[in-house]
A and B are shown apart, each in its own frame.
Chain A
Amino acid sequence: MTLIDNPDQQALAESVRKLVAARSPLTKVREVALSDQSYDADVWRLVCELGVPGLAIPEQYGGAGGTWADLFIVLRELGAGLVQTPLFASSVLAGGALLASDDEELKSTWLPRLADGSTIGALAVSEENDATWGSQPSTVTAADGKVSGTKVAVLNGAEADLLIVQASDGLYLVQTQQSGVTIAGDEVLDLTRSIATVRFDGAEGHRLAGTADVVLDAVIDLANVALAAEQSGAIKSCIDITAAYANMRYSFGLPIGAYQGVKHKLADDYTEWSLVDASVRVASEALTSGASTASAAAAAARVLASPAYTRAAKNMMLLHGGIGFTWEHDAHLFYRNAVTGKVLLGGPLFQQDRLADKLGV
Chain B
Amino acid sequence: MPADEFRTKALTWLTEHARPFAGESADGNFAPSLKESKAFQKSLWEAGLAGITWPKEYGGQGLGEDEVIAFNEVASDFLLPTGPFVIGLGMPGPTILELGTEEQKKRHIPPMLSGDEIWCQLFSEPNGGSDVASLQTSAVRTEMGWLINGQKVWTSGAQFSDFGAILVRTDPTVPRHSGITMFIVDMHHPGVTVRPLVVATGDAPFNEVYFDDVEVPLDAVIGEVNQGWAAAVVMLRNERVTIGAGGRSRSNPLGYDALREIAADIGTADDTGVRRRLANLYARETAVAAFGRVLHEGALAGNPIGARGSAAKLAGAELGLWASDAAEDIVGQDIALLTGKSAKAARMILRAPGSATAGGSNEIQRNIVAERVLGLPKDPGAADRKTPFNQLKLSK
Contacts and interface: CB of A to CB of B under 8 A. Distances in A.
B291 interface: yes
A300 B375 contact: no
Contacts of A162: none
B294 A4 contact: yes
A146 interface: no
Contact of A277 (B282, B294, B366, B379): B294
A352 B276 contact: yes
Contacts of B282: 296, 300, 355, 359
A242 B6 CA distance: 46
Mostly, the A contact residues are helix
A281 B293 CA distance: 10
B39 to A, nearest CB: 36
Nearest to A277: B294
Interface residues of B, number: 43
Given A275-B288, A353-B276, A356-B276, A267 B367 contact: yes
Contacts of A14: none
Interface in A272-301: 274-279, 281-282, 296-297, 299-301
Contact of A267 (B269, B286, B366): B366
A270 B287 CA distance: 14
Contacts of B275: 352-353, 356, 361
B290 A304 contact: no
Interface string A252-286: 00110110101110111011001111110110000
B311 A271 contact: yes
Interface in B312-327: 312, 314-315, 318
Nearest to A268: B366
B365 interface: yes
Interface string B284-321: 10111011011001100100000010011011001000
A254 B380 contact: yes
The residue in A258, A275, A299 that gathers the most chain B C-beta atoms within 10 A of its C-beta is A275
B320 to A, nearest CB: 14
B66 to A, nearest CB: 9
Given A3-B290, A4-B297, A258-B376, A267 B369 contact: yes
B43 interface: no
Interface in B350-396: 363, 365-367, 369-371, 373-380
A355 B374 contact: no
Nearest to A354: B279
B280 interface: yes
Interface string A1-28: 0111000000000000000000000000
A349 interface: yes
Contacts of A277: 291, 294
B357 to A, nearest CB: 16
Mostly, the B contact residues are helix
B337 interface: no
B283 interface: yes
A247 B377 contact: yes
B138 to A, nearest CB: 31
A152 interface: no
Nearest to B65: A2
A276 B376 contact: no
B379 A260 contact: yes
B287 A271 contact: no
Interface in A217-273: 239, 243, 246-247, 254-255, 257-258, 260, 262-264, 266-268, 270-271
Nearest to B272: A353
Contacts of A260: 363, 366-367, 379
A55 interface: no
A303 interface: yes
Contacts of A299: 279, 283
B278 interface: yes
A229 B42 CA distance: 45
A263 B291 contact: no
Contact of A247 (B283, B291, B297, B376): B376
A266 B318 contact: no
B176 interface: no
Contacts of B263: 361
Contacts of B374: 239, 243, 266-267, 270
B240 interface: no
Contacts of A352: 275-276, 279-280
Interface string A307-351: 000000000000000000000000000000000000000000100
A279 B377 CA distance: 30
A297 B366 CA distance: 28
B250 interface: no
Interface of B: 260, 263, 269, 272, 275-276, 278-280, 282-284, 286-288, 290-291, 293-294, 297-298, 301, 308, 311-312, 314-315, 318, 363, 365-367, 369-371, 373-380
8 contacts: A3-B293, A270-B311, A277-B291, A279-B286, A281-B294, A304-B287, A352-B276, A361-B263
Given A254-B380, A277-B291, 17 more contacts: A3-B297, A4-B298, A239-B374, A243-B375, A257-B377, A258-B380, A267-B311, A271-B311, A271-B318, A274-B294, A279-B287, A297-B286, A300-B282, A304-B283, A304-B287, A353-B276, A359-B282
Interface of A: 2-4, 239, 243, 246-247, 254-255, 257-258, 260, 262-264, 266-268, 270-271, 274-279, 281-282, 296-297, 299-301, 303-304, 349, 352-353, 355-356, 359, 361
For the complex of A and B, 3 pairs with smallest distance between CB atoms? A263-B370, A257-B376, A267-B366
